[in-house]
Structure 1
Amino acid sequence: MFELVEPIATVTFSDAVTEAFLALGMRNYWDGYFAGRAAPLGLAPAEVVHAVFYNFADGEVARHIPWVWGKTTPEEAIAVRERASAAELRRRIGDLADSPGLVRVADLATRAAVSAPTEGRGLYAGLRALDVPEEPVARLWHAANLLREYRGDGHNAALVAHGIGGTEAHVLMALALGMRPEEFDRVHHLPEPQLSAVVERLRGRGLVDAAGGFTAAGRDAKERIEALTDELAAPAYDVLSADELDELIAGLEPIAAV
């Protein structure tokens, strides 16, 4: 489900959506990213957004929050993000947007997306408080975004349970992709001493070897975190019968593949 939902939800990080935020007075991609993604939390301070988003380095959120709220409001950011994301999804999927089955897929995805428990899921709970769009393509994007953030909140819980901090998670992701941390886009801009200190902490815990790669314990820890993340994401789909879940998967596959 992650592989089917992720391509739909992440159209919100596209150039088209960034341009919509630039039109509001945002300075760059990251202003729009933080305004759009944090908007369901309201006028939360940077410290709260940092905690909920989890994996940004110290100080990164504060470069955008609360500055963006001097240019727009959370309500406007939510509306702009939804409108631009739906338009981009429609553009990408072409004729599928008007196909008879899209309404059914959007309905099934939405049933799952609004059915999951909100306890301990701060960002998901904020999104659940929003109105569900009526237009099918917008509703599908909204559902995918809900499901993505539900899984993301669970992923953060899994990281906390395993004692992995936010920047550490990005370093481990870089290693899993066969990259050095300084090559990974989420942390490559951090000062070299800061990145080295993160790697050294992971090495001290036996998760990273002397050459900067995974140890067996590091690979095992990452696999356990990913497995727990999947387990924590599963309750969102419990509301669907086996046949309905199969129908949702079949309907999402051509959309996610575009």
Structure 2
Amino acid sequence: MAHIARRMFELLEPICLVTYFADDCNEELAALGHPTYWDGYFASRAAPLGRVPAQVVHAAFYNFAEGEAARHIPSAWETIPPEASVAARERGSAASLRRILGDEVADSPGLARAADLLTEAATSAPTEGRVMYAGMRTVAVPGDPVARLWHSATMLREHRGDGHVAALVGARIGGTEAHVLDALARGIHPPESFGRIHHLPKERLAAVMDGLRERGLVDAGGRFTDAGRETKRRVEALTDELAAAPYDALSPAELDELVTELEPVTATLVAAGSR
């Protein structure tokens, strides 16, 4: 089933990315009173966990540098209820999808069927050891098919993310180290220039790179060694394996149907850059 999990990741990621790439979601969160993109991001994504301290958000998100969560949590919830941020994220994300796809696709029986199948998968996996996924499972599934498609895709994204964190922990790869390996896998060099980490203090990045060199995962020039490339491959393979459980809820015929309905939706979103 790992190959199915990988294919579903490819199909679902563009649906989830409207939350972060398109303006609609950020505008909804800003209208609530969140002053920056990152205030809205942390407030709305972490909200399903409840009013937990920054240390818990940092642990669950995993790949942010020390102190980044604390700049937004819990202050982002002091005047705006977490539930309001969750609802704003859903409204904005669904609005993005409808705008990009157009009403004809958004209101089609095929999209509604994809949303139904995806929801069946997304609500069927065990929650043990899946902190972010378990949090999303407590949020009501919306009735509107477009919103339901986004919601279920996002549940599955958090389920996969929890498994990815487990794979990284097992490989002894920290959050910033994971970004370095991801940058190298994307062909970005130097990896310190990657957008997710380039803002970090140079001393912090240098220490991370030194640690990866000491472990033989990158070479003196900051590029993959064979061991580093193999470590990244193992982490991704295990992530796919750990992401497969939700799709056990669907029959082979239903999986084929889901892929068929999602492919044109995803193609449209990819062409638009999920914006």
Q: Into which bin does the TM-score normalised by the smaller protein fall?
A: over 0.9
> What's the offset of the Cα at 1:182?
2.7
Aligned residue type for 1:89: L
Alignment of 1:1-258 (within 5 A): 1-13=8-20, 14-94=22-102, 95-179=104-188, 180-258=190-268
Aligned equivalents of 2:191 and 2:35: distance in 1?
Answer: 27
TM (norm. structure 2) is 0.92
> What's the offset of the Cα at 1:17?
0.6
CA shift digits 1:135-176 (9 cap, x unpaired): 111111100000111000000000000000111101111111
Aligned equivalents of 1:7 and 1:29: distance in 2?
Answer: 19
Instruction: Select the structure with the greater relative contact order (CA < 8 A; seq sep ≥ 6).
Output: 2
CA shift digits 1:191-211 (9 cap, x unpaired): 111101001001100100111
Identity %: 65
Q: Residue 121 of structure 1 contacts residue 150 of structure 1 at CA under 8 Å; is this kept in 2?
A: yes
Q: Structure 1 stretches of 5 or more lacking a match? A: none
Aligned equivalents of 1:210 and 1:253: distance in 2?
Answer: 42
Q: Which moved more, 1:67-76 or 1:116-125?
A: 67-76
Give 2:4's aligned residue: none
Aligned equivalents of 1:225 and 1:116: distance in 2?
Answer: 21
Q: Which moved more, 1:246-255 or 1:22-31?
A: 22-31
Structure 1 runs (4+) greater than 6 angstroms displaced: none
Q: Which moved more, 1:76-85 or 1:172-181?
A: 172-181
Aligned equivalents of 1:115 and 1:176: distance in 2?
Answer: 32
Q: Which moved more, 1:198-207 or 1:11-20?
A: 11-20
Q: Residue 24 of structure 1 contacts residue 71 of structure 1 at CA under 8 Å; is this kept in 2?
A: no
Q: Residue 57 of structure 2 contacts residue 69 of structure 2 at CA under 8 Å; is this kept in 1?
A: yes
Q: Residue 191 of structure 2 contacts residue 222 of structure 2 at CA under 8 Å; is this kept in 1?
A: no
Aligned equivalents of 1:153 and 1:252: distance in 2?
Answer: 23
> What's the offset of the Cα at 1:64?
0.6
Q: Structure 2 stretches of 5 or more lacking a match? A: 1-7, 269-275
Q: Which moved more, 1:22-31 or 1:247-256?
A: 22-31
